[in-house]
Chain A
Amino acid sequence: MGTYVLRRLLQMIPVFFGATFLIFYLVLGMPGDPLAVMCGERGCDPSTANALRAQFHIGEPLYVQYFEYMKGILTLDFGETFSRRPVLDVMGDAFPITIRLATLAFIIEIFIGVPLGLVAGLRRGKFFDSSILLGTLLIISIPIFVIGFLMQYFLGLKLGWFRPTVSGEAPWNELLLPAIVLGTVSLAYIMRLTRTSVVENIHADYVRTAVAKGLPHRRVVTVHLLRNSLIPVVTYLGADIGALMGGAIVTERIFNIKGVGGTLYQAINRGEAPTIVSIVVILVIVYLVFNLLVDLLYAVLDPRIRYA
């Protein structure tokens, strides 16, 4: 087990460098001159321009820029934005908000998705099951921004149950509606995954054994059926955490949230390499770590899986 974790951690190193280099390469390949963005319409005077070039290593070969940048990152110096703000500060503002948003969405997914999927699976072919199948199909087929605007309009503006937009501090209660929007699609997938898995396992021999042992129905379902049915769901949830952190761009724009998605979007527009790469680096690490956690969680859920 220990060697397995160590090996997986070591594997992260090449993935980390590969991913960051790729991002770096793509960002520098973007059209447009970063200096034009920084200096605006009037342009900078030559000495300022040169100073900026030197500071951001603009115009130097790709590997030099990458090397300089990575040197900084390894000492936790993520560089500065074009407006001279440390990227670490920018991330320090954006990540807590996005983490709150993702956490809420994640909790909604688990605590609504799994129970509803379970009930649908237990009542396979009945009205409740058909409604769940139809409803989730609908959610999956509608683009997220449509769902977002509709919820914002009806729940936020018409009914006034939620604040339609989120204030700068982004407290938990204001993030509830955006979290519902952010989580809906994954929620639909989790319901379907849980349902399918339950339907598959409900006729398993060990469930029949549990009934024959005289266990109460509730125990048969929660202890014996659900635990086995959750394995595919956990896989999905692990990959989903990364997606929730990085994929909130649309939701954050709809609800005016100053999170990672919004910041990343702005940085891409400006061609602000240090910000883009820094955020993506963090997201890559989040993905890698959660993938490892999911793989370890497998072994806990299913003892037949053992890592050596």
Chain B
Amino acid sequence: MSQDTINTTADNRPHDGDPNAPVLEVENLHVEFRTRDGVAKAVTGVTFDLLPGETLAILGESGSGKSVTAQAIMGILDTPPGFVTQGSVRFRGVDIQALPEKERRRYRGEKIAMIFQDALSSLNPVYSVGYQIGEMFRVHRGASRADAKTKAIELMDRVHIPAARQRVNDYPHQFSGGMRQRIMIAIALSLDPDIIIADEPTTALDVTVQAQVMQLLADLQAESKMGLILITHDLGVVADVADKISVMYAGRLIEQARSLDLYSNPAHPYTERLLAAIPRVDMKGQELYTIKGIPPNLTDIPAGCAFHPRCPYAQSICSEKTPPLEVVPGDRRSACHFWKEVLDGSLQIR
């Protein structure tokens, strides 16, 4: 494991001997929020790897812990109330979780960049977009104002913002939603990071623009070989772009598989039910399927498998014993006592 040092010159970037070693390893990550109403276990024992150039989708409904996982990786949790209580986040072997804030800061933007959901509120309303993109070069690279602006224009071109040269001095509110998200992407992209975490990047956009933005992310990733973590609740968004999918429920990873495997044959009842809830063209006019019940309150997660109160296959063991994330044949994992039965479809709905 190499001892990573941050170096700001492009030709002297830290590297591992093995180019195919994971660029990010999250291990047994626990995050809790200590609130007045009790301790909310937002993330419990999340473990995953990200390979260079790989796209990992983290899928889950609101409150499943997917955004908190992203914030913990970035080190931008609101502390208090949020605390990382256990686990490690290793970037090319370096546990950035353990670094002092001053050193950790330099990984943000430089090594791992983030794109947020609502580009309008995530961009500072009082600075021009050129300033906000150029700031990356001025702060991290010590570039002059003029150089930063040139770089900003280049990046705006790269994310296909028309008339970049004229628009570089415009403010966020003067752009459309899709263009604003492109500016967020330009900021994330600016220092050529190894990983981009996109937290619901297309949720605030309308459907046609969603497709364009996803296409842009996919193209940029193909050019630069960066790893992409795509956080979403939208199964439709991830289907085309993700290599791997991790499904989260009540703060735990409950299934992990190659996209195609997960879609064609889920190994966890929750995933199976999610897929069943996708509206289908051939079922036009029929009532849409929903998973009964609501996601658990994170201050009071059900004992055993958190999904058991809503699971159509639940048996007595499910409320007693928390299923571990077991390795399932085909380079996948599932946290269900009955993954075998789920896979071959032999379980009966109660």
Chain A interface (Cβ < 8 Å from any Cβ of B): 203-206, 208-217, 219, 224, 227-228, 301-304
List, in ascending order, chain A residues with CB within 8 A of B105's CB: 214-217
Whole-angstrom CA separation of A211 from B171 in the bound complex: 20
Chain A positions within 8 Å of B107 at CB level:
214
Q: Which segment, of B120-128, B214-222, B296-304, B323-331, faces chain A?
A: B120-128
Minimal Cβ-Cβ distance residue in A for B187: A213
Q: Which residues of A contact B110 (CB under 8 A)?
A: 214
Whether A304 lies near B109 (C-beta < 8 A) is no
Q: Across the interface, do B122 and A303 meet the contact criterion of CB distance under 8 Å?
A: no
Query: Among A203, A210, A227, A303, which residue has the most Cβ atoms of chain B within 10 A?
Result: A303
State which residues 93-150 of B face A: CB under 8 Å. Answer: 101, 105-110, 113-114, 116, 118, 121-126, 128, 135-136, 139-140
Other contacts beyond A205-B121, A214-B140, A217-B101: 13, CB < 8 A: A203-B78, A204-B121, A205-B116, A209-B122, A209-B184, A213-B113, A213-B136, A214-B106, A214-B109, A214-B110, A215-B139, A216-B139, A301-B126
Which has the most chain B C-beta neighbours within 10 Å: A208, A209, A210, A302? A209
Mostly, the A contact residues are: helix
Q: Is B173 an interface residue (CB 8 A)?
A: yes
Which has the most chain B C-beta neighbours within 10 Å: A211, A213, A216, A304?
A: A213
Question: In the complex the two chains form, what is the Cα distance from A304 to B173 in whole Å?
Answer: 7
Q: For the complex, what is the distance from the CA of A206 to the CA of B135, rounded to whole Å?
A: 14
Given A215-B139, A302-B125; A209-B78 close (CB under 8 Å) = no
Closest to B124 in A: A206
- Chain A neighbourhood of B126, CB < 8 A: 227-228, 301-303
B74 within 8 A of A: yes
Most buried by B among A212, A224, A228: A212
Measured in the bound complex, the distance between the Cα atoms of B258 and A146 in whole Å is 75
B122 / chain A contacts, CB cutoff of 8 Å = 205-206, 208-209
Across the interface, do A304 and B135 meet the contact criterion of CB distance under 8 Å? no
Selected from A212, A216, A304, the residue in CB contact (under 8 A) with B76 is A212
Give residues in B with beta carbon < 8 Å to A: 74, 76, 78, 101, 105-110, 113-114, 116, 118, 121-126, 128, 135-136, 139-140, 171, 173, 184, 187
Contact of B113 among A212, A217, A228, A304 (CB under 8 A): A212
Q: Report Cα–Cα, A205/B108, bound state, in Å.
A: 16
Query: A208 to chain B: closest CB distance in Å?
Result: 6
Contacts of B135 in A (CB 8 A): 213, 215
List of B residues within 8 angstroms of A205 by Cβ = 116, 118, 121-122
Q: Which 8 pairs from chain A and chain B are nearest by CB?
A: A214-B108, A214-B109, A205-B121, A206-B124, A205-B122, A303-B171, A212-B114, A213-B109
The answer to whether B109 touches A212, judged by C-beta atoms less than 8 angstroms apart, is yes
Using CB atoms, name the residue of chain B closest to A231: B126
A163 to chain B, nearest CB (A): 44
User: What residues on A are CB-neighbors of B74 within 8 Å?
Assistant: 212
Candidates A209, A214, A215; contact of B116 at CB < 8 Å: A209
Question: How many angstroms between the C-alpha atoms of A210 and B114 in the bound complex?
Answer: 11
Q: List 10 A-B contacts (CB under 8 A).
A: A208-B76, A209-B116, A209-B122, A212-B116, A213-B139, A214-B105, A214-B109, A215-B105, A303-B128, A303-B173
Q: Which residues of B contact A209 (CB under 8 A)?
A: 116, 122-124, 184, 187
B295 CB, nearest partner CB in chain A, Å: 24
Q: Which residues of A contact B121 (CB under 8 A)?
A: 204-206
Q: Say yes or no: A228 contacts B108, CB within 8 Å.
A: no
User: Once bound together, how far apart are the Cα atoms of A215 and B107, in whole Å?
Assistant: 10
Given contacts A212-B74, A213-B136, A303-B171, contact A206 B123 (CB under 8 A): yes
Contacts of A211 in B (CB 8 A): 76, 108
- Residues from chain B with a CB closer than 8 A to the CB of A210 are 124
B104 vs chain A, min Cβ distance (A): 9
A190: min CB distance to chain B, Å: 20
Contact for B125 among A203, A212, A216, A304, CB less than 8 A: A304
Bound Cα distance A232, B109 (Å): 32
- Closest Cβ of chain B to A171, distance in Å, is 40
Distance in Å: Cβ of B118 to nearest Cβ of chain A: 6
Is A224's CB under 8 angstroms from B124's CB? yes
Q: What distance in Å separates the Cβ of A118 from its nearest Cβ neighbour in chain B?
A: 17
**B residues less than 8 Å from A213 (CB atoms):** 108-109, 113, 135-136, 139, 187
B residues in contact with A204, CB < 8 Å: 121
Which residues from chain A contact B124 at a C-beta distance below 8 Å? 206, 209-210, 224, 228
In the complex, what residues of A have CB within 8 A of residue B113's CB? 212-213
